[in-house]
Homo-oligomer: A and B are copies of this chain.
Amino acid sequence: MRQTKQKRYIMEAFQNYHGHPTAEELYAVLSPKHPRLSLATVYRNLNQFADKGMINRVIIPNGPTRFDSILDFHYHAICEECGELFDIDSPEIRAVDEAIHNIKAFNVSNYKIMLYGTCDLCKVKSQHLHENPSFN
């Protein structure tokens, strides 16, 4: 993998990005400063980084692929209220992973899991709304 300034720009923008950007989102950040950068290059490089294991691809059902800088073990969860993607880890999640490794059938070598629920912020919001319907 050859060093290019595009690769550096993309990796830098990715690391400064809070959350889990899509290729388009990174392109939107980079495009103003680097008008000649093309979306295809962003896609190509993010895919290359992911293939090399430098970053994580998070496939979203019914949505664009997002990328994740956390390489350590964790799960992903989508908040059904706000649509945001979150990184999740806990002892209970380790227990899920362990249970999956116990599956004997099918030579299971790998898996993808996506959790759906409510993030902390949306949980608080709906509580306030419940207590005071004019809250927004």
Residues of chain A having any CB pair with chain B under 8 Å: 59, 61-62, 77, 79-80, 86, 88, 90, 92-93, 95-96, 98-100, 102-119, 123
Contacts and interface: CB of A to CB of B under 8 A. Distances in A.
Contact of A105 (B90, B102, B108): B90
Contact of A112 (B88, B106, B109, B114): B114
B96 A123 contact: no
A115 B103 contact: yes
Contact of A123 (B88, B92, B107, B123): B107
B113 A108 contact: no
Give the dominant DSSP class at A's interface: mixed
Given A59-B61, A96-B103, A100-B96, A117 B109 contact: yes
A90 B114 contact: no
Contact of A102 (B61, B62, B92): B92
A132 B94 CA distance: 41
B106 A88 contact: yes
B109 A116 contact: yes
Contacts of A86: 106
